């Protein structure tokens, strides 16, 4: 058990951008057709770029030697069926987080859709291993505390690269570090060892999904830092719903 806990500490610290990218970049074709990964995005406010680049290089080195090899091994020893079951199960465990955040946003229709998705997949979907709820058109957009802040008019803020945890915006910085777990009521009922195994499994699975993107930018991008920054910004903002009439502040000209 101590070995499992040590592995947990190691892999959780190397989450990097895998879970951020994996939610939105599902295939090589999708990201090539959707995102200009070698083109800088003028809307990204990056006042700490010099420091961010150093942390990005540090995170990338750790990922290259530790997390990526684990993800490649996982990808090679599992078939598509197993990967689909793992993805469905981890998504279902995290669905109560979406329920809570839609409630905080006072979007009660989406709150109920999220709740019913969780109930149906947990029961008819055998604990979430199978996505039965999609057959009933229950596909709410995943929500985090950062999504809730955006709903009330909070902009992305400065772009940040956090040691071990990867790239994000100031508005979303607590999501992967703390609030995704703190606001998910289901996780308070998990045994510590189950939470350890779940977290490791999700990180490795998400990193495996992100492999086509990260391998592509490693091979062909002129500036991997900008490629990741652009992809994260474009993808994240495409999923955010701001209040009607919201206009982002021009942070580049304070």
Per residue, what are the HEC states of 32-64? HHHCCCCCCCCCCCCCCHHHHHHHHHHHHHHHH
Enter the DSSP assignment of 172.
G
Alpha-carbon distance of 176 to 159, in angstroms, equals 15
Contact by Cβ (8 Å): 169, 158: yes
In a domain, 253, yes or no: no
Q: Which residues contact 46 (CB under 8 A, 6 or more apart)?
A: 52, 158, 159, 229
pLDDT band at residue 251 using 50, 70 and 90 as cut-offs: low
Residue 248 falls inside a structural domain: no
Q: CB 42: neighbour CB atoms within 10 A? A: 7
Looking at residue 36, its pLDDT comes to 45
- DSSP 8-state symbol, 144: -
Residue 250 resides in a domain: no
Q: What is the CA radius of gyration of the chain?
A: 18
Q: How much is the pLDDT for 10?
A: 45
What's the pLDDT at 25? Answer: 46
Rounded to the nearest angstrom, the gap between the alpha carbon of residue 53 and the centroid of all alpha carbons in its chain is 20
Contacts of 161 (CB under 8 A, 6+ apart): 51, 52, 53, 55, 56, 59, 167, 168
- Sign of the CA dihedral running 177, 21, 10, 2: positive
Is the residue at 41 inside a domain?
yes
Q: What is the residue range of 19's domain?
A: 2-239
Q: In this model, does residue 139 exceed pLDDT 80?
A: yes
98 contacts 142 by C-beta, under 8 angstroms: yes
Q: Is the pLDDT of residue 1 over 50?
A: no
Reported as a pLDDT band with limits 50, 70 and 90, residue 221 is confident
Q: Say what the pLDDT of residue 180 is.
A: 94
Q: Report if residue 252 sits inside a domain.
A: no
Report the pLDDT value the prediction gives residue 246, as an integer from 0 to 100. 86
Average pLDDT over residues 111-138: 97
The answer as to whether 245 is a domain residue is: no
Structural domains of the chain, count: 1
Locate 57 and state its tokens: 């290089």
Q: Classify residue 224: in a domain, yes or no.
A: yes
205 part of a folded domain? yes
Q: What local confidence, expressed as pLDDT, does residue 20 receive?
A: 46
Q: Nearest to residue 14, comparing CAs of 63, 86, 87, 72?
A: 63
* Lowest-confidence pick of 3-17, 117-131, 213-227: 3-17
């Amino acid at each position: 058990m101590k070995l499992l806990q040590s592995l947990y500490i190691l892999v959780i610290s190397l989450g990097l951008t895998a879970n951020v990218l994996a939610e939105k970049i599902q295939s090589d074709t999708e990201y090539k057709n959707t995102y200009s990964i070698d083109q800088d995005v003028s809307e990204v406010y990056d006042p700490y770029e010099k420091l961010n680049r150093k942390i990005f290089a540090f995170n990338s080195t750790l990922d290259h030697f530790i997390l990526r090899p684990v993800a490649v091994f996982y990808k090679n020893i599992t078939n598509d069926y197993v990967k689909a079951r793992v993805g469905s199960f981890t998504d279902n465990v995290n669905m109560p987080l979406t329920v809570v955040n839609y409630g905080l946003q006072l979007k009660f229709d989406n709150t109920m859709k999220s709740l019913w998705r969780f109930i149906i997949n947990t029961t008819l979907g055998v604990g979430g291993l199978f996505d039965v709820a999609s057959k009933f058109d229950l596909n709410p957009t995943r929500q985090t505390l950062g999504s809730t802040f955006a709903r009330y008019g909070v902009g992305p803020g400065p772009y940040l690269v956090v040691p071990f945890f990867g790239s994000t915006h100031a508005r979303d910085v607590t999501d992967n570090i703390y609030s995704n777990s703190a606001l998910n009521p289901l996780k308070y009922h998990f045994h510590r060892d189950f939470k350890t195994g779940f977290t490791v499994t999700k990180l490795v699975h998400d990193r495996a999904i992100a492999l086509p993107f990260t391998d592509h930018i490693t091979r062909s991008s002129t500036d991997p830092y900008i490629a990741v920054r652009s992809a994260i910004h474009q993808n994240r903002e495409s999923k955010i719903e701001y209040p009607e009439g919201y206009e982002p502040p021009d942070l580049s000209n304070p």
